[in-house]
Each structure stands twice: as C-alpha cells, then as structure tokens.
C-alpha cells in the first residue's frame, strides 16, 4: 500500500488561519520512497507566538516559493496515496483550503488508530505517544519532523496490532465495519470466532466503620464562609454520613488524605457506567451501531478487551468522554437480567457502605436521578461560589446517530417515535421536547432543560435551565445541606442563595488576610498591542518570587504570554513539565492546583456568567481567596476598566483588601517586594 504521512504548521487554529509549512513522507510497503518539505508564505503576518512555537520567522516565510507551484507540486507528490495525519480532520480542513479543492484521497487518522491499539493510555497526542512508546523523537512543531514521528508511530501501531488475539480482532473488525479502511491492521489475523466480553463481578470494598456520627445534627440549609481544609474537615467530622461535592481535583485528593480512616468513596464519574444489557445487545447486533459511531465503539471495546475494567475504575479521560459511553450509560429498567453484575448497582452498593462520598459538580447534576435513591445525614457543596458558572456551562450534545443507536436498542413504537420527532424538534411543544430528552438521557421528563438546536439540524445541545428545580431536588438528598465558600455576601446579598433559592442561615467569618492588591495604572490595557512587552518587562522585576500564578480571561492571550515567558526563563518550562506548582497559567474556570504568593490577573472575569457584573466580581474575590498563599501575598490586576476610579470604587468590595492604584513602576516593585518579604 502507498501512504503519505503529512503534517502542517499554520498561523493558528481558526478558520481564517493559513498553512505556513508542509512536511510529508511517501511510503510504499513501509519503505520511504520520497519526501516533501517546504515553507508557505501566508497572506498575513505571523504572530510572535507562532514564531516562538515553531521557530519559523516572517523572514523565512518571505523567501518561500510561489504558492501555486507548491500546490501543484504537493498534488503531484500525493497522487492517489492514502494520506495519514494525526487528528486528521484538522489537517484535512487546512490542506483543502490551501489546495482550494476537496481532497479525493482516503485519509487515515493515527489518533483514532492509537486509541484503538493503546486505549489504556491517558494521552494520545503525538508528542506523548512518542514519549510513552519510546519512539525516536524529533523537534516538535515542525511539519517534516512531525511527519517523521508520525511514520514511526504508524509502524509501532502495526507491530502492536499483531499482538492482539485473533478473536479480539474479529470483534473489532466487525464493529468498525466499512466505516474505516483499517484492513491493514486486521490482515495479520486469521479468521476466528469473534470474542465475547466477559463481565466480572466487582469485589466488595473493605473499609473502616464510621464512628463519629453526631446524633444532634442540625437539619436545614447552612452557608459557611470557610476556606481552610482544617475548617472543612472539622465540619465534616461532626456531620454524619455525608455526600461531598467539589470542583477541584486537588481538593478531592486533600479530602481523601485527611479522611483516610473512614470509608471514603471517590465517586467521580459514577454516572458514567456500562449497562451490560445494552453493551451485549450492540456486540451481538453490530449493525445497530450507526456508521459515525463505529470507531468510537471499537475503541471502547478495545479498552474493555485489554483491561477488563468494566467498572471503569481506571479508565483514562478519553474513555470516560467517549461518545459511545453516554449511549451505554442509560438505565431505564428497574429490574433486568444483569442485576448481579450491573456496574451501576455495584456503585449504589458502594455508596450505601461509605461514610463519605465525594463527587464533582458535573457528577452531581448529571447523576441527580440516581442520587435521589439515597438519603445522607449531610450534603456539602464546597467551592460553592462556582455553582452558577458550572451549572450554566454544563451541556450534553446528542447527534442523530446517538438517537438512532438508542432507538435501535429499544425498537418499541415509543422510542422509534423519538427519532421521528427529532427531525422536527425545534417546532415541538415543550412537553414533547422534554419527553425526547428523557428518552435519551437518565433525566426525568419533569426536568426543565435549556435546549439549543444547532443550525445543521443534526445535533442537539442540552443544558440545565432551572436552578431552583435542581436544588430543590438536591435538598431532598440530605437532612443537612451545607454550602461552603470563602465569601457569600457581596454588596449585601448572598449570591449563591439567590441563585439556588435554598433559604438558610449564613455564617460569616472575619479573616486577617495578608494580601496586597495592586492596580498598575502605568501599563496599557491588556487588549493594547504594547501590553505584552510592558507586562513581560514588569514581570522581570518579580521573576524570583515563587509560586506564581497567571490568570487570563481568554486562551489566546494566555498561550502567547506563556510562550514568551517559557522562552525567557528556562525554569518555567521545567516547572510546568514537573507540575511542581511553582508556576501556573489558568483561565478563570480552571481549577487551582496550588496556593501562590504572587498572582497576576490579566483581565477581569466579566464574561464568567452573562453580563452580571456583580456576580463576576464576587466570583473574582472567591477565586483569588482560593489561590493566595497562607503567608503574605500580592495580587496585580490588569484591565482597562480599572483605570476608571469610579469603577474601582463601585467594586472595591471585590478585592480582598483595599487596592492600591499605582502610577509609577518603581513604587509598585518596591511596595510589592517589601510586602512579600517582610
């Protein structure tokens, strides 16, 4: 077979970005027969970020040969070869725009192949695969180098595919069907009876008994301004059997460590389970799997075949986010033939036996129907200031293929009607819309959803729209509902109580924060061209202070400044690789991994939840409190709005301490360093 392994470098990731480099290797019978590499001059000037990332300068591109000649030469080079790329949809789209015509060649995506052959790996980026599989590493982010690594990866995938059992390959081949031309990975396997995936019963957990239940536990709703782990643990130990809901992975680990003498269950992703009845149905009736979902199903099946992890206890994120899983994680039957080996029922049993059950907020909202089967002494909603943001951003996306697959499992008139009605979804009354959603999810019809019907009429995005309804259900899960955050009151209102409509008592707590808030008025606003240079020059005065956090309102600016800093300070690259917490770059919705002595806020979080400025600034105050070190810290804010003293005055309560407005750089450096070091 004749393959062309290729990679592109571009001016960015958006539709108006352009190709700036092409690298390719032509291979016949796994032998390299020719190569292709060239720079391409774009119509627009490339950014410093791209130059830093790739090493390609505008001067290099200005010397590139004529675009029409490159197009002609590359079309001649690829001929009728099978094209191979990593995350091929990206490269295909850019290449077609560059060639100004659709590609007729068949395209193979090594990202899909790698997930099929190595489903147990946590990352399938080209760089991570090269590292994990001990392949020859070339300098990344140059097109020809990436094409070379791509070829090495492809050979490794072929080699590993030969180690699969014939019966396993027979099953995967049947699942994939004609959706992909992956015949080259099956050719080395003799025909055999297809494998069956045997479900093994999960063993019981062995833990210590809970022995600290407070019999005089208060019932009701309570808002606690608590920030330290000690305060949280103290509350937990006096609150009986508890459901704990958190946002940050770091907090999950800290709680598990502090409560390790009790029966503690990390139930993260508990609502992502395998319905054995559905799994067996699709394995026996592979024609019931829509074409566009076959590769995803094969990757999922490959994971189960290799790991036997039917409870998904050790599943990497790409498996937990596999599009197939939501079609298998449906439970519509009170009783079925698989009750004894049902992963969902096993999780129910584990929850019943546990003293503390830890979830993340998406688990709580998506798994609320299942959680209504339990009654806890207490429910704790930690990092509660994030609740409106999390709830408003949660979406479940369904395609026609998802609905077709689910309908194929239940061939009754009721379910087939769902697929028919989907074609006219936007014109249906609300009750019928809710009926469709309840048939393809684990939610009841009574839920109120926010549905966005996409322009192509091929998919559906489902979100939660009624916080009051949802939190009224949450209040039924526990005798005591406890919401914890650094702050609840902002401008005289409890913003989380206002959102959840859970009326309760608020317990405020005075704190002696050793935080200096500084607004450098002498810098341009972050959206000005000069800002990046001014900011980097300012940071040079503080580069010895660690740990340090950079917070951004948008990803593009974050990546640009991050790249500049990595180029200037070698310790930053090393720290990020080691994840030692000495430095971090985040956006507001990211969880925080450490406590920082120096924090730079590049733009206020005004887009955090619609146009509610008060909530955005309330969120900022809590976010900063979550992030600051316990010793003396300094926070520097950069935003054009802060040059308006009336704006600062209006939102002064959003700063942990009164902000200093400094107009001279020398004063800022002097004040901050003196504050932190005394």
* pLDDT tens sequence across 259-279: 999 999 999 888 889 999 899
**pLDDT beyond 80 at 622:** yes
- Left, alpha or beta for 79 (phi > 0: left; psi -120 to 50: alpha)? left
Per-residue pLDDT, averaged over 156-174, amounts to: 94
Active site residues: 141
**pLDDT beyond 60 at 208:** no
pLDDT band at 174 (very low <50, low <70, confident <90, very high): very high
Per-residue pLDDT at 378: 96
**pLDDT beyond 80 at 512:** no
Q: Which of 59-63, 100-104, 443-447, 459-463 has the lowest mean pLDDT?
A: 443-447
Per-residue pLDDT at 441: 86
Distance CA 671, CA 669 (A): 6
**pLDDT beyond 60 at 205:** no
239: helix, coil or strand? coil
Helix (H) / strand (E) element for 153: namely: helix 143-161
Distance CA 301, CA 296 (A): 9
Per-residue pLDDT at 294: 96
**pLDDT beyond 50 at 95:** yes
Distance CA 330, CA 441 (A): 6
Per-residue pLDDT at 269: 83
Report the C-alpha dihedral over residues 314, 243, 247, 119, rounded to 10 degrees: 10
**CA distances (Å), 463 to each of 185, 452, 497, in order?**
40, 8, 21
Question: What phi and psi values does residue 5 have, to the nearest 5 degrees?
Answer: -90, 125
79: its two tokens: 């001929």
**CA distances (Å), 4 to each of 106, 161, 535, 620, in order?**
11, 20, 44, 50
Burial of 127 (0-12, 13-18, 19+ CB in 10 A): middle
357: helix, coil or strand? strand
Alpha helix (H) residue ranges in 177-311 = 183-186, 229-236, 249-258, 276-284, 294-307
Per-residue pLDDT at 334: 66
Which of the pair, 556 or 124, is modelled with greater confidence?
Answer: 124
pTM of the model: 0.86
- Calculate the average pLDDT of the chain: 88
Distance CA 170, CA 164 (A): 10
**pLDDT beyond 90 at 32:** yes
- Strands 633-638, 660-662: pairing is unpaired
Helix (H) / strand (E) element for 399: namely: strand 395-399
Distance CA 586, CA 590 (A): 6
Per-residue pLDDT at 451: 72
pLDDT band at 209 (very low <50, low <70, confident <90, very high): very low
pLDDT digits (tens, 9 = 90+) for 309-347: 988 989 999 999 999 998 999 887 767 778 778 888 888
Cβ partners under 8 Å of residue 612, min gap 6: none
Return the half-sphere exposure (C-beta side, CA atoms, 13 A cut-off) of residue 125. Answer: 6
Helix (H) / strand (E) element for 109: namely: strand 107-109
Range of 49-53, 436-440, 444-448, 467-471 with top mean pLDDT: 467-471
**pLDDT beyond 60 at 204:** no
Q: Residues 592, 597, 600, CA angle at the centre, nearest 5°? A: 70
Most distant CA atoms of the chain, gap in Å: 82
Per-residue pLDDT at 107: 95
Are 615 and 495 within 8 A, CB to CB? yes
Per-residue pLDDT, averaged over 654-670, amounts to: 91
pLDDT band at 49 (very low <50, low <70, confident <90, very high): confident
Chain-centre distance for alpha carbon 265: 22
415: its two tokens: 């379910």
Per-residue pLDDT at 603: 94
Per-residue pLDDT at 21: 94
Per-residue pLDDT at 196: 78
b/e sequence 450-484, b meaning 16+ C-beta within 10 Å = ebeeeeeeebbebbbeebeebbeebbebbbbbbbb
Distance CA 264, CA 256 (A): 7
**CA nearest 473: which of 351, 372, 378, 362?**
372
**pLDDT beyond 70 at 564:** yes
pLDDT digits (tens, 9 = 90+) for 587-612: 998 888 899 999 999 999 987 666 68
Distance CA 300, CA 272 (A): 13
């Amino acid at each position: 077979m004749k393959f062309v392994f290729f990679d592109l470098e571009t001016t960015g990731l958006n539709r108006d970005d352009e190709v700036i480099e092409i690298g390719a290797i032509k291979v016949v019978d796994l032998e390299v027969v020719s190569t292709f590499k060239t720079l391409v001059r774009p119509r627009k000037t490339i950014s410093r970020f791209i130059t830093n990332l790739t090493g390609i300068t505008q001067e290099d591109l200005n010397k590139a040969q004529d675009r029409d000649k490159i197009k002609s030469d590359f079309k001649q080079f690829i001929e009728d070869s099978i094209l191979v790329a990593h995350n091929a949809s990206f490269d295909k789209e850019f290449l077609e725009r560059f060639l100004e015509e659709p590609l007729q060649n068949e395209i193979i995506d090594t990202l899909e192949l790698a997930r099929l052959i190595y489903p147990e790996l946590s990352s399938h980026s080209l760089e991570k695969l090269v590292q994990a599989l001990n392949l020859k590493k070339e300098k990344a982010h140059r097109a020809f180098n990436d094409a070379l690594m791509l070829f090495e990866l492809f050979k490794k995938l072929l080699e590993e595919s030969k180690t699969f059992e014939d019966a396993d390959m027979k099953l995967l081949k049947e699942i994939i069907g004609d959706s992909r031309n992956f015949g080259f990975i099956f050719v080395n396997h003799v025909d055999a009876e297809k494998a069956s995936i045997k479900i093994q019963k999960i063993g019981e957990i062995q833990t210590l008994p809970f022995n600290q239940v407070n019999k005089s536990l208060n019932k009701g709703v309570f808002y606690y301004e608590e920030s330290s782990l000690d305060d949280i643990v103290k509350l937990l130990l006096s609150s009986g059997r508890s459901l704990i809901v958190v946002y940050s992975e770091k907090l999950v680990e800290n709680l598990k460590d502090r409560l390790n003498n009790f029966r503690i269950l990390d139930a993260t992703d508990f609502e992502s389970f395998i319905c054995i009845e559905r799994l067996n149905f699709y394995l026996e009736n592979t024609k019931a799997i829509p074409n566009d979902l076959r590769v995803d199903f094969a990757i999922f099946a490959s994971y189960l075949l290799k790991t036997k992890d039917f409870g998904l206890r050790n599943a990497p994120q790409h498996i937990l986010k596999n599009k197939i899983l939501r079609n298998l994680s449906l439970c519509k039957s009170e009783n079925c033939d698989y009750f004894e080996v049902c992963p969902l029922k096993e999780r129910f049993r584990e929850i019943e036996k546990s003293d503390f059950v830890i979830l993340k907020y998406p688990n709580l909202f998506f798994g609320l129907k299942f959680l209504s089967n339990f009654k806890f002494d207490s429910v704790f909603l930690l990092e509660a200031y994030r609740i409106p943001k999390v709830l408003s951003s949660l979406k479940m996306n369904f395609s026609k293929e998802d609905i077709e697959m689910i309908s194929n499992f239940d061939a009754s008139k009721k379910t087939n009607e769902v697929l028919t009605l989907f074609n006219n979804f936007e014109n249906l009354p609300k009750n019928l819309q809710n009926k469709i959603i309840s048939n393809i999810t684990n939610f009841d019809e009574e839920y109120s959803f926010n549905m966005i019907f996409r322009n192509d009429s091929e998919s559906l995005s489902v979100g939660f729209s009624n916080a009051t309804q949802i939190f009224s259900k949450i209040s039924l899960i526990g005798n005591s509902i406890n919401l914890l955050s650094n702050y609840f009151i902002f401008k005289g209102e409890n913003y989380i109580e206002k959102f959840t409509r859970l009326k309760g008592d608020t317990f405020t707590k005075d704190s002696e924060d050793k935080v200096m808030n500084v607004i450098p008025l002498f810098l341009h606003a972050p959206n000005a061209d000069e800002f990046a240079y001014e900011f980097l020059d300012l940071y040079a005065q503080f580069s010895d202070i660690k740990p340090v956090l950079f917070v951004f309102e948008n990803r593009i600016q974050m990546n640009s400044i991050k790249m500049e800093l990595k180029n200037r300070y070698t310790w930053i690259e090393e720290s990020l690789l080691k994840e030692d917490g000495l430095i971090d770059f985040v956006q507001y919705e990211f969880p925080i991994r450490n406590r920082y002595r120096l924090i730079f806020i590049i733009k206020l979080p005004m887009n955090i939840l619609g146009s509610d400025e008060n909530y955005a600034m309330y969120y900022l105050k809590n976010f900063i409190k979550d992030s600051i070190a316990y010793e003396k810290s300094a926070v520097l804010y950069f935003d054009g709005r802060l040059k308006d003293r009336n704006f600062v005055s209006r939102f002064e309560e959003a700063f942990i301490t009164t902000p200093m407005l400094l107009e001279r750089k020398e004063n800022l450096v002097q004040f901050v360093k003196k504050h932190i070091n005394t």
